Amino acid sequence: MMPDRHLLLTPVDKEAPARVRRLRGLGIGDRPDAALDLFADRLAELTGAPYAMVNFIDENRQFFAGLHTPEGTRPGAGLAAAAGGLGRYLARDHGYCPHVVVRRKALVLEDVCDYPRFAGNPVVDEIGIRSYLGAPLIDRTGIVLGTVCVVDVEPRRWGRAGLDTIKMLAAELVEQIHRREDGGI
């Protein structure tokens, strides 16, 4: 019997064109950003995760404008791979952030293999991701700009504390983006 392939589909993202326009207006989401790399470092530190990202998503791909990897490497803007095969770009149908963007709420996957809908995602086999914790970046216009997320190659008990932390950090980053837009930083 064939597995239920519809469970693995990346959700339809009707907001993508508006998001791309908003990100362009903010001047973010299409190149590495040192401040967002530092934010990703902080995400990793506060959650104890080996990988952390500030992720912006367009119609076709995801871009990690902020990235933390275990060795602290920061791949270039191209498809250069970091430790574990994670570079700055990821196809839109890979990973879990597109689900967070469309759902407009945080997602906790302590062991992705426990969820048939998510276990078949290419990042499990290609990169070895086993756990995920992410929250949407919803700006003052109501558009979901992207996500902040952390992942691990081992199953992980994020718990309520992890969920609260990622949601708090998402809100904090949205405020930083607003200050940047307003000329504050």
What's the confidence (pLDDT) of residue 72? Answer: 58
Higher pLDDT, 148 or 121: 148
Yes or no: is domain 13-181 CATH 3.30.450.40? yes
pTM for this one? 0.86
What's the confidence (pLDDT) of residue 4? Answer: 44
Burial of 78-115, coded b for 16+ CB within 10 Å and e otherwise, reads eeeebebebbbbbebebbbbbbbbbeeebbbbbbbeeb
pLDDT for 122-170, tens place per residue? 788 777 899 999 999 999 999 999 999 999 999 999 999 999 999 999 9
By the 10 Å C-beta count (0-12 exposed, 13-18 middle, 19+ buried), 179 is classed as exposed
Q: Classify strands 107-109 and 89-91 as parallel, antiparallel or unpaired.
A: unpaired
pLDDT at 90 exceeding the cut of 70? yes
pLDDT at 78 exceeding the cut of 80? no
pLDDT at 83 exceeding the cut of 70? no
d(CA 50, CA 29): 22
Q: Please, which pLDDT band fits residue 76 given cuts at 50, 70 and 90?
A: very low
What's the confidence (pLDDT) of residue 46? Answer: 95
Q: Please, which pLDDT band fits residue 8 given cuts at 50, 70 and 90?
A: low
d(CA 161, CA 78): 35
Amino acid at residue number 46: L
Which range has highest mean pLDDT (6-20, 49-63, 69-83, 119-133)? 49-63
pLDDT for 25-71, tens place per residue? 999 998 999 999 999 999 999 999 999 999 999 988 999 999 999 87
Amino acid at residue number 32: P
Structure tokens at 168: 């708090």
d(CA 14, CA 85): 29
pLDDT at 3 exceeding the cut of 90? no
Residue spans of the domains in the chain: they are: 13-181
Residue-by-residue DSSP string for 89-133: EEETTSSSHHHHHHHTS-EEES-GGG-HHHHTSHHHHHT---EEE
pLDDT at 111 exceeding the cut of 70? yes
